[in-house]
Structure 1
Amino acid sequence: MTMHIIGAGVGRTGTYSLKLAIEQLGFGPCHHMEEVLLNMPTQVPLWSAAVNGRFEWQAIYDGYASAVDWPTAGFFRELYRAYPDAKYVLTHRNPENWADSFGSTIHALLSKVDEAPPEMQSWLEMASGVITRTGFPADLDRDGLITAFKAHNDAVRETIPSDQLLVYEVREGWEPLCAFLGADTPSGPFPRSNDRAEFWDRVSGKA
């Protein structure tokens, strides 16, 4: 299956809402970290190999037409080489607000890898490797996270040609996304999902 849309925005920038929107527009199924959690025996080894430089994109994205969130966002350079005709979406938000959200969710989760149940260890180790590779090692403080967030977004803009890249905040709703994708604008509201409480529910398997 051809990859039509690739998200270069890191987690906690509205990526789950974007996933739902992309699927509603008919460009799914859309890969997201949730897909890794739901299919760890297959997905975790493939992404762990990618962290170490072995990219099997066809196997990773088998059955998917689009992808957003981590792990995908950590490989935007490699994915642009593999899928040079895809459209790319860089979700972003206020860097300070992002650092606070990331710090209280993903950063907090990865800081307790050793305390996780055995069945989650390999996923957490892979996720930590991807996020570190993206420029967010575990020892960054809030100021370091803000700096790294800005650097990632700048790197995406420098890598992806402007005519293939939408720099986007999900609060902007349907109009910019639909215009970029050449899709009709739905009459219903733009999906809103995965606040901090929902994040912990997804990780724990309650959602």
Structure 2
Amino acid sequence: MLGYRPFHISELLPHGVRQMQALEEAMVASSTDTPYTRAELDKLFGDYDCLIESPCYLGASGIQTYVDDPNIKFILTQRSPESFAKSLSGSLGCYYAKLHEWPLTAARVCDGFVWELERMFRLMTFRWSHGLHPSDPDFRSALEQSYLEYMKTVRSLVPAERVLVLDLDKGFGWEEICNFLECEVPEEPYPRSNSMAEFHVAAEVVLAPAVRKTMVLLATSTAALVGFGAWYLQRLRK
């Protein structure tokens, strides 16, 4: 189990614009008559052993693509709709909103990575919120409704014998997961962490270089404008 190479959305962030664009194209295509094929998804996700969270952004077509492979198993994490909405609005929704605030509004214009990140976060946020912005008063209720719809979709598409439902509110560990996957239970404890706090730390680390770059560009531009203004005024006086 510890040897598995899991793919999570965060895997894209260190690599840059091209990889994010590929995921964006897959998300957009999932809502059309020509969703990504298994070969295209395999090319997108590389040689990872499992996908974490990513399939939920590919809609019913993405789930069906993997259901068609009888060797693939699914783990569905269950929680209260209110808990899900709180988590998503505090992580993805929060940073999508921040990308429209200073200084990230300036960074979006000055840095191609931040520009693409905003587009990817917008697609992900709107997939769950039915197009509502995090500031909309109905945002959380839309997330709750989407969560219930998603759980229903997964259960309707995936055969019961190929899906393990884990209740996040009750808790779970290696035993349930490893027994389902038919692999050995690791000796080390199951990792417990504050995923929302980790998301915020990771986001700050990823965005910090772009913010620094933007501040340098703005400072340089301001200095150039001030210098030009001083020169122009001096010329007028002569």
Above 0.5 in TM-score?
yes
Q: Which amino acid aligns with 1:173?
A: G
1:178 paired with 2:178, answer yes
Aligned counterparts of 1:60 and 1:98: Cα–Cα separation in 2: 27
Cα distance in 1 for partners of 2:90, 2:42 equals 33
Q: 1:59-112, CA deviations, whole angstroms, 9 ceiling, x for partnerless residues?
A: 211121211123x32225333443322111111222222222222221111123
- Which of 42, 49, 65 is the aligned partner of 2:49? 65
Q: Once the 2 structures are TM-superposed, how far is the Cα of residue 178 of structure 1 from its aligned partner?
A: 0.8
- 1:149 corresponds in structure 2 to 147
CA spacing shift, 1:78–1:40, aligned 2, 3 Å: farther
Say if 2:27 and 2:57, in contact at 8 Å, map to a contact too.
Answer: no
8 A Cα contact 2:6 2:51, kept in partner: yes
From 88, 91, 115, the equivalent of 2:74 is 88
Give secondary structure in 1 for the equivalent of 2:100. Answer: helix
Alignment of 1:40-189 (within 5 A): 40-53=16-29, 55=36, 56-70=40-54, 72-75=55-58, 77-83=60-66, 84-85=69-70, 86-115=72-101, 116=104, 117-118=107-108, 119-134=113-128, 136-139=130-133, 140-169=138-167, 171-189=171-189
Shift in Å at residue 172 of structure 1? 0.9
Asked whether the 8 Å contact 1:107–1:138 carries over to 2, the reply is no
Provide Cα deviations, 1:15-53, integer angstroms capped at 9, x if missing partner. xxxxxxx5x1x3x21110110112223321111211231
CA distance, structure 2, for counterparts of residue 136 and residue 200 of structure 1: 24
Q: Is residue 31 of structure 1 aligned with residue 21 of structure 2?
A: no
Is contact 2:92-2:125 (8 Å) kept? no
Q: Take 1:52 and 1:149, find their aligned partners in 2: how far apart are those partners?
A: 19
Q: TM-score normalized by structure 2?
A: 0.68
Give me the identity figure in percent.
24
Q: Structure 1 CA distance, aligned partners of 2:27 and 2:187? A: 40
TM-score by length of 1: 0.77
Larger Rg: 2
One-letter amino acid of the counterpart of residue 128, structure 1: R
Paired with 2:59 and 2:187, the residues of 1 have a C-alpha distance of: 32
Unaligned runs of 5+ in 1: 1-21
Q: Partner amino acid for 1:44?
A: M
Q: What SS class does the counterpart of residue 74 from structure 2 fall into?
A: strand
Which residue identity is paired with 1:38?
P
Assess, with a 3 A threshold, how the Cα gap between structure 1 residues 195 and 130 changes in structure 2: closer, same or farther: closer
The answer to whether the 8 A contact 1:166-1:180 is kept is: yes
What is the alpha-carbon root mean square deviation over aligned residues?
Answer: 2.2
- Sort the Cα spacing of 1:193 and 1:110 in 2 relative to 1 into closer, same or farther, 3 A: same
Letter in 2 for 1:50: A
How many residue pairs are counted as aligned between the two chains?
181
Deviation of 1:169 after TM superposition, in Å, equals 3.2
Give the whole-Å Cα distance in 2 for the aligned partners of 1:122 and 1:62. Answer: 21
